[in-house]
Structure 1
Amino acid sequence: MIELRGLTKQFGRHLAVDDLTCTITPGRVTGFLGPNGAGKTTTMRMILGLDAPTRGTVTVRGHRFTDLPVPMREVGALLDARAVHGGRTAYHHLLCLAQSNRIGRRRVDEVLGIVGLEAVARRRAGRFSLGMSQRLGIAAALLGDPAVLLFDEPVNGLDPDGIRWIRTLMRDLAAEGRTVLVSSHLMSEMALTADHLVVIGRGRLIADTALDAFMRGSADRAVLVRTSEAASFADRLRTAGATVRRDKADELVVTDLDSAEIGRLAAVDGVPLIELTPRSQSLEEAFMALTRESVEFGVER
């Protein structure tokens, strides 16, 4: 279990994490979501004692990370897949970590097998692709057989087979009763992996809920609109208060207006509609609707 109570981190005038309170519980995969700059990585760094909170507390299984006598036996983490001595082989990188945490050599071979790196165990890590580096970082997180695991963007650089593998691994780890916290910008992957969501924006908690409840509780419902006048009709819809995303030349995804309201606007303006289909929002659409006021680095659409 990971407990955050009033967790706050300020860098000069910038408030990166703002009074964040939540509990990450065992037995489920918790997706940690937020726009770029929301404070996800800073929060994970505070959990691991890499950054000191300005205010508030964070504990892992009832203890501060820095007070754990053998931390890798309690917590495993992947924050930066490239944070490896490039001159060391994969095997010796893991062996160094194991010896510093009183973990036997046999476990090094075990985790290399789990992540599928046995064949390149004696290759220098500096020559690894990003996907191979991710697998090595996951091996390091698993090394101490910990009850708590943190993964920051673990699917970066993985091919489709690797993505499916890490998805299955995280769900299996949670099913064993472990605490699994994973951040990702791939909403489609989170929809398949996470049981619970913690969503933050500008450092503040926006949602802390089960994935199913998050999807059901989204106030907006999307409507697929196809028209030969997509560009001009998108402007008309925005003027009427809708949020519009243009997916294709003749295709709009509209929220904040229902299909009847959209149809009336089209009729008044004489806009020919090819398709007008209400649909349930995807996790990506629900996330974007919830966090649109919290985006620091965005573009006009």
Structure 2
Amino acid sequence: MIEAVGLTKHYGRTVAVDNLSFTVKPGRVTGFLGPNGAGKSTTMRMILGLDRPTAGQVLIDGTPYRDLRRPLTTVGALLDAKWVHPNRSARAHLRWLAKSNRLPERRVAEVLDQVGLTKVAGRRAGGFSLGMAQRLGIAAALLGDPKVLLFDEPVNGLDPEGILWIRQFMQGLAAEGRTVLVSSHLLSEMALTAQDLVVIGRGRLIAQSSTAEFVERATENTVRVRSPQLDRLRVLIEQRGHAVREDDGALVVAEATSEQIGEIAGAAGVVLHELSPQRGSLEQAFMQLTGDSVEYRTELGNGLNEIVAGTDQRLVSAGR
């Protein structure tokens, strides 16, 4: 388990993390979300003892990282996939890490096989694609068979097959009872991967909840209805809730459930061709709750808000 209590980090007058407290529980994948510049990377570095907090503390299974005698056996992390000597082979890189924590050399072959790099284990890591480097970083994180795992943007550079693999892999690690914290900007992927969320903005906690609760709290669920008697149905529906007609002729109804709409149509003898609940997305919920926490915002004429934050100019767009 990871426990952050009052975590604060100042860089001069800049407050990167501001009195941040959260808990990451074992047995579940927890997504760590926030706009660029929110303090996610700084927080993960403090968890791993790479940055010293200005105030507060982080405990990993009850112990600060700096007090772990063989840290790779307790916590594994992927923060920078390219953090490897370019002239070392994948196998040599992992052997070096294994020796640093007195791990058996057999673990090198085991983790290379786990991540699918056995056939290229003798190649220089500097020649790896980003996707292969990600797999090597994951292998390094797994080397000590730790109970706590941190991944920062683990699907960067992976093709669709690789993304599916890492999703199932992280869920499998959590199913074994491990604590898994993953930071990502791919919200659609996080919606499929993470059971829980920790969401921050400007270094402060915005929300900590299950993914389903986060989406439900921040978005409005609607019902989509199609019928050959649409005008009659609309009159009946608007006695219960608000209905909006879409370009394809369907009605989107707010403030009503699909069961209620079905009962209304059934009582009036109205034929339905479609009756489907429409759930809010993680992306919509994220944009709703973090809109005040982004660094830069531009309003576009097409009605979409685009958020550009951080030096790497990643885009997170609403309304997809």
- TM-score of the pair, normalised by structure 1: 0.82
Q: CA deviation at 1:14?
A: 1.1
Partner of 2:282: 283
Amino acid at match of 1:96: W
Contact 2:220 2:279 in 1 (8 A): no
Q: Secondary structure at the match of 1:208?
A: strand
Q: Separation in 2 of the partners of 1:198 and 1:127?
A: 35
1:14 aligns with 2:14: yes
Q: Separation in 1 of the partners of 2:159 and 2:222?
A: 30
Contact 1:34 1:40 in 2 (8 A): yes
Q: Secondary structure at the match of 2:83?
A: coil
Q: CA deviation at 1:216?
A: 1.7
Q: Secondary structure at the match of 2:297?
A: coil
Partner of 1:91: 91
Partner of 1:200: 200
Partner of 2:162: 162
Q: Secondary structure at the match of 1:299?
A: strand
Q: CA deviation at 1:299?
A: 2.5
Q: Secondary structure at the match of 1:205?
A: strand
Q: Secondary structure at the match of 1:49?
A: coil
Q: Which runs of 5+ in 1 are unaligned?
A: 225-258, 264-271
Contact 1:76 1:142 in 2 (8 A): yes
Q: CA deviation at 1:110?
A: 0.2
Q: Separation in 2 of the partners of 1:201 and 1:137?
A: 27
Contact 1:220 1:289 in 2 (8 A): no
Q: Secondary structure at the match of 1:134?
A: helix
1:43 aligns with 2:47: no
Percent identity of paired positions between Structure 1 and Structure 2? 63
Q: CA deviation at 1:13?
A: 1.4
Q: Secondary structure at the match of 1:155?
A: coil
Q: CA deviation at 1:111?
A: 0.2
Q: Which runs of 5+ in 2 are unaligned?
A: 225-240, 254-277, 301-320
Question: Deviations along 1:186-221, whole A, 9 cap, x unmatched?
Answer: 111111110100000000000000111112212545
How many residue pairs are counted as aligned between the two chains? 259
Question: Deviations along 1:217-246, whole A, 9 cap, x unmatched?
Answer: 12545899xxxxxxxxxxxxxxxxxxxxxx
Q: CA deviation at 1:261?
A: 8.4
Contact 2:24 2:30 in 1 (8 A): yes
Q: CA deviation at 1:273?
A: 5.3
Say if 1:273 and 1:163 are closer, same or farther in 2 by CA, change over 3 A: closer
Q: Separation in 1 of the partners of 2:289 and 2:94?
A: 40
Q: CA deviation at 1:297?
A: 3.0
Partner of 1:240: none
Q: Separation in 2 of the partners of 1:188 and 1:139?
A: 25
Q: Separation in 1 of the partners of 2:15 and 2:283?
A: 26
Q: Separation in 2 of the partners of 1:221 and 1:295?
A: 25
Q: Separation in 2 of the partners of 1:132 and 1:62?
A: 34
Partner of 2:291: 292
Contact 2:197 2:211 in 1 (8 A): yes
Partner of 2:139: 139
Contact 2:219 2:280 in 1 (8 A): no
Q: CA deviation at 1:291?
A: 0.5
